[in-house]
Amino acid sequence: MTVLIRLGLGLGLGFVVLAPIVVGFVYEKSFDLNTLLNVFVLSMIWMGFFGVFSSLLNYMLPRKRAVAGEVVDDDSDNTGTSSIKKHRISTSGAGTETTVNYNNSDISLGNNSGDDNHSGGGGGGSEVELQIMALGDGNPPDIDEDLHSRQLAVYGRETMRRLFASNVLVSGLQGLGAEIAKNLILAGVKSVTLHDEGTVELWDMSSNFIFSENDIGKNRALASVQKLQELNNAVVISTLTTKLTTEHLSDFQAVVFTDISFEKAIEFNDYCHSHQPPIAFIKAEVRGLFGSVFCDFGPEFTVFDVDGEEPHTGIIASISNDNPALVSCVDDERLEFQDGDLVVFSEVHGMTELNDGKPRKIKNARPYAFTLEEDTTNFGSYEKGGIVTQVKEPKVLNFKPLREALSDPGDFLLSDFSKFDRPPLLHLAFQALDRFISELKRFPVAGSEEDAQKLIFICSSINESMGDGKLENINPKLLRQFAFGARAVLNPMAAMFGGVVGQEVVKACSGKFHPLFQFFYFDSVESLPAEAPDSSDFKPLNSRYDAQISVFGSKLQKKLEDAVVFMVGSGALGCEFLKNVALMGVSCGNQGKLTITDDDVIEKSNLSRQFLFRDWNIGQAKSTVAASAAQTINPRLHIEALQNRVGPETENVFNDAFWENLSVVINALDNVNARLYVDQRCLYFQKPLLESGTLGAKCNTQMVIPHLTENYGASRDPPEKQAPMCTVHSFPHNIDHCLTWARSEFEGLLEKTPAEVNAFLSNPTEYATAMRNAGDAQARDNLERVLECLERERCETFQDCITWARLRFEDYFVNRVKQLIFTFPEDAATSTGAPFWSAPKRFPRPLQFSAADPGHLYFVMAASILRAETFGIPVPDWAKHPKKLVEAVDKVIVPEFQPQTNVKIVTDEKATSLSTASIDDAAVINELIAKIEQSQKSLPPGFRMKPIQFEKDDDTNYHMDLIAGLANMRARNYSIPEVDKLKAKFIAGRIIPAIATSTAMATGLVCLELYKVLDGGHKLEDYRNTFANLALPLFSMAEPVPPKVIKHRDMRWTVWDRWIIKDNPTLRELLQWLREKGLNAYSISCGSCLLYNSMFPRHRERMEKKVVDLAQEVAKVELPAYRRHLDVVVACEDDEDNDIDIPQISIYFR
């Protein structure tokens, strides 16, 4: 069809251009040979024009994006050139539709290497360039892995394909609808249709980041399109501005309503529930500090993956011939199985009956063993080996329609166990509010006692009609708070529920993760001011914050506007936080200021969740772009963007005066060390710290409040278990070990060794001296690698690089394995007589290189190209053509390998180095230095190597191709399942899975706590720490843990306290000051230096010296001009000689 359209348009336009000219020639009086020649030339021009024009149409005509199970309308010539992106905005209002096409010039050529992937020159038999990818990786062209890599790490390709095929309706474009639409567009659904019949009001400015005051009076849906489209041009965004009917719903896989009556919701839900196939229906509301969600995904909805976790595995150590059988596993890692899990067995030797792939149920699951519900008495005796793997079964859920669920809601999803009785009451409250609006055609007025009593009366009436389900207490105080804020949509609530609902839509469209079943109610009344405002305080001020004022009052609004905030980080969390605080009006007053800092720049992979950035911002500073975008949301925001890393090295920027002036600190960081530093600063200056983090669908928040809660560093997760070095290098038993080894080899070969070479060449004398002074095995290894690069393995041509790569293959996957199994044969035993090759060790087999094996050839290609880069050798075009590459590889002479008897292979799991020291190291080092100096003479003048730093997010640089090749070839050696390049990138690149929904939820929850912090006066029980997993879904909220209290005499202190002494005392005065508190100081230190110890008589000579002078003299402390005090740590004991842990002491001298 597309070909016919192109043909028609090309011929038509050509005819329109040429016909008048030809007719003119024909009817001209002098029609001679010249005229005929002119007509012929014009005909040729027309034919050429038609050819060019039809080629342009190949890109100009819209094409469908390929999705699972969908045929792409594409008449391309299979040259590997993918279609240009289609950007379409349709606007349906009053029965009309407008289509806008955005042309985009960045045409993807479908080749990971970034080169053209068409046949060269035409004709049969032309060579096709090698696609660089991991083994078995089809790399579907419909997923932009650079953009969606973090999301792919959470969902996987199949879920992403389902999302790409999904059409979603979002009805109601106030704050909640905007947040849901944002998250879905970032996720990359096929299309989002925005429905809203209302117009933008000043009231909307408190919650909707899309609108500006210039949009007031415009239709909400129409005003939203442009800014939402900027988030992801691959998503088709359309609008509906007329009344919605059930006929509209049939076009969607999921529909979301955020502002709809129960009567209309029941009508639409009945239609969706009975539709074939069912249409997922979600009704969500945010009313002040209260919110609700209802989900109905149809009478039979299949969940393919209930939790999104990788199937758990274990390495078998033994299996008994019993009924039931006891299965024991090695104590390498704890088993994560649970009673009732289904598992399958593989690679079991002896008891081979278990290798049939049949799922078997387990019970009595323990950390390293479980019982199998099977009689293995007559099975073969277990010999060795075996892997047990969890089987994840689909789950079918039977949803009830809203009509039934309202009267029979079933179990509510709880978020806060201190409010276990709250959901049934809120279930009534939202129905009462719906009836109030239906009867009075308006929301309750904030601060109106009459309206609040009316709502309470309606709620009581509904409760009385419930019969046996009647609630004993309907809590009038809570319903009054509900009524006062019912009209307002608060941004933090919209952000939180936008994350929850956005994730439910993803579940509905993909079957990934367990849906919310079926009602979820939430409130945060603890966020209200500690001192209740007067009713007059709720009155609107004709400002953009009127909706927020209707809930909290104008006094708290003033506190928000005058807040001085420090936000650390402007990535995914930072972007969401900036949007939230801008809408809340934080730091938007005359006294307010927000400082944000981030030393990172924007990358393409950020764009799928860091929604303040656009593709034209790639390479720019994150903090600067984010700050500018936040000011677009609220021009009144007073913000300063910095590019400084927060740490000891920038304490001249973030000095004492800076910290002391802050109202609150918000962390938006992605690493623990930076969090710990900021935590210590907040402890020191006694500033509130709002902490949060995400990992895939999981998120957590922690409130660190001075004197009320423990600090962030008070409790830490245990460090991740690291595989022993000998396991990684010689005895891997999973793909993680192979990838860890591959990453290490990559960095050693391509970064560290070239850097060592350059260090030598830059200053040979100094380098040689440093190596001689070190005189250890590490220095010897460094010199051996430098000598290899400059002599034995030096490359001057690309053929040399191919030779190097081919011999590396032989060394890694053939020779080393032959040596290993020569040293430790398959029947080898340990010193105790046990088999050496017992679990978890896997016996390896050497590979046989074959140019016909794509994996072997890919490895050689990637390795040779990167080797050439380190030597500055141009890569010829033929390097990516398999036939010519094979010819070059065939020229390499591979020497025969003979295993040696005196090779030592490290088997000690506690060893930290594979290098072994020798008494001859000094002599060997001198000999190596002499050889290197000799080889230097043959180098061209100014020769330097180019070290390559690993970059995981550039698919054209061959880095991940080499690492995936290294890991998968090694996996073949040890019969470990291989992975595709994307999975290899996740593991080797240490990519943290991330999605927009959990980020939005975390920041919404934190900003609900921000109200409490800036209001002041809240108690510990008012604050909430949260852990949530949107995949399950699970919400767990609890009070923060209070800090540990230390008591001495009539004094009490915690980690938050710091004792301050002014006027720069002497050492004697400091000791006396402590003695008056009943504390005998026996040691005083500054940093790592001891200023005073009672055991040293000479220290008594220091008694009359000022402590600050003593620190400068003894500890060599430098005190820059911005420092006003010095901190010392004092060890004390009481009169009974009991050690007393006292706070840090700050001595002020300026």
Active-site annotation, residues: 726
Triad 104, 106, 108: Cα angle to 5°: 125
**Half-sphere CA count of 194, side-chain side, radius 13 A:** 33
Burial label for 949, CB within 10 Å (0-12, 13-18, 19+), is: exposed
Q: In Å, what is the CA distance from 993 to each residue of 134, 574, 697, 996?
A: 20, 17, 8, 11
Crossing angle of the two packed helices 175-187 and 996-1015, in degrees rounded to 10: 140
User: Rounded to the nearest 10 degrees, what angle do helices 491-510 and 157-164 cross at?
Assistant: 100
Going by the DSSP 8-state scheme, the letter that residue 692 receives in this structure is: E
CA distance 772 to 780: 9
DSSP letter at 219 equals B
Number of helices followed by number of strands (H, E) in the chain: 34, 33
**Residues in contact with 1127: Cβ distance below 8 Å, sequence separation at least 6, in sequence order:** 1086, 1144, 1145, 1146, 1147
- State both tokens at 1063: 């006027």
Q: Which of 762, 743, 754, 760 is nearest to 970 (CA)?
A: 743
Angstrom CA distances, 656 to 661, 962, 1121, stand at 9, 48, 11
Cα separation values, 159 from 143, 189, 304, 469, 592, Å? 11, 11, 10, 40, 44
Q: Phi then psi for 152, rounded to 5 degrees?
A: -60, -35
The alpha carbon of 804 is separated from its chain's Cα centroid by a whole number of angstroms, namely 37
Is residue 1112 classed exposed, middle or buried when 0-12, 13-18 and 19+ CB atoms within 10 A define those classes?
middle
User: CB–CB of 676/713 below 8 Å?
Assistant: yes
C-alpha 152/C-alpha 155 separation (Å) is 5
- Beta carbons within 8 Å of 301's beta carbon, 6+ residues apart: 278, 280, 396, 397, 398, 399, 508, 511, 515
d(CA 496, CA 291): 10
Can you tell me the distance from the alpha carbon of 42 to that of 269, in angstroms, rounded to the nearest whole number? 64
3-class secondary structure per residue, 30-97: CCCHHHHHHHHHHHHHHHHHHHHHHHHHHHHCCCCCCCCCCCCCCCCCCCCCCCCCCCEEEEEECCEE
What whole-number distance in Å separates Cα of residue 106 and Cα of residue 132?
21
User: Mapped to the 3 state alphabet, what secondary structure does 879-915 carry?
Assistant: HHCHHHHHHHHHCCCCCCCCCCCCCCCCCCCCCCCCC
Three-class SS state of 639 = strand
What span, in angstroms and rounded, lies between the C-alpha atoms of 289 and 527? 8
User: Nearest 5°: phi and psi at 64?
Assistant: -80, 145
C-beta of residue 141 within 8 angstroms of C-beta of residue 110 = yes
Stated as kind and residue range, the H or E segment containing 700 is strand 698-704
Rounded CA separation 1135/942 (Å): 72
Beta carbons of 485 and 287 less than 8 angstroms apart = yes
Cα dist from 762 to 781, 926, 983, whole Å: 19, 19, 39
Asked if residues 964 and 768 have their Cβ atoms less than 8 Å apart, the reply is: no
CA dist 120 and 115 (Å) reads: 12
